[in-house]
Amino acid sequence: MSGLMECLIGCLIGWTVTGMNYAKLNGYDIANGPGVRVSLFVSGCRHHCKGCFNPETWDFDYGRVFTFDTYQRLDDLLSFEHISGLSILGGEPLEPENNKTLTVVCKSIKEVYPEKTIWLYTGFTYEHVRDLPIMRYVDVLVDGPFIESLKDISLQFRGSSNQRIIDVKASLERGEVVLWSDDPVFERRKW
């Protein structure tokens, strides 16, 4: 049994993992965070942003059921040294139907792969989700709904200018939003 699977079993004690579907699991992603990453696109979203690049993921039943085999595949993909971390997108990862399962996933990944970063994309704002248990395991949060009128294809790692790339650990420590430092557009802005 792999380290991630052993950790997962330990993490599941005391948790009720709900059924969650996912649309896609990519082993090599260079668009949704720095370096080469694994990306997990979950199913289910109530935001329904106009112009969403993934509207099929709004349906909670879309894709496949997230199972122990999916955990094993995540472990296999994350085990490579050249993989920088995991990016979780959707759909909406922080919908109640997805949040509990993803909290367990993120906790187990951080315990087995502490050097890997976890990026999470959400249509909610940081202020709305900062107290969720999953935030203890997320390194970077890309927050805010996609707003088609603010779409800007030159932005790094996000689709519209209202979205922020937030350093979650630093934000939790300081009690205020701290933007991710490798983002020159946001370094010039005052929030």
Which pLDDT tens digits describe the chain residue by residue (191 residues)?
566 655 555 555 444 455 899 999 999 999 999 999 999 999 999 998 888 888 899 999 999 999 989 999 999 999 999 999 999 999 999 999 999 999 999 999 999 999 999 999 999 999 999 999 999 999 999 999 999 999 999 999 999 999 999 999 999 999 999 999 874 554 444 44
Q: Tell me the H-state helices in the chain.
A: 3-12, 68-78, 96-112, 126-129, 168-174, 184-187
Determine the 3-state secondary structure of 60 from DSSP: coil
Quote the tokens at residue 86: 């995991």
- The answer to whether the CB of 137 falls within 8 A of the CB of 106 is yes
The single-letter DSSP state of residue 151 is B
Determine the 3-state secondary structure of 166 from DSSP: strand
The answer for residues whose C-beta is within 8 angstroms of residue 26's C-beta and 6 or more apart is 38, 39, 40, 41
If one counts every other C-beta atom within 10 angstroms of the C-beta of residue 115, the result is 8
Angle at 102 between CA 184 and CA 151, to 5 degrees: 35
Quote the tokens at residue 109: 């990944």
Show me where the domains of the chain are located: 3-187
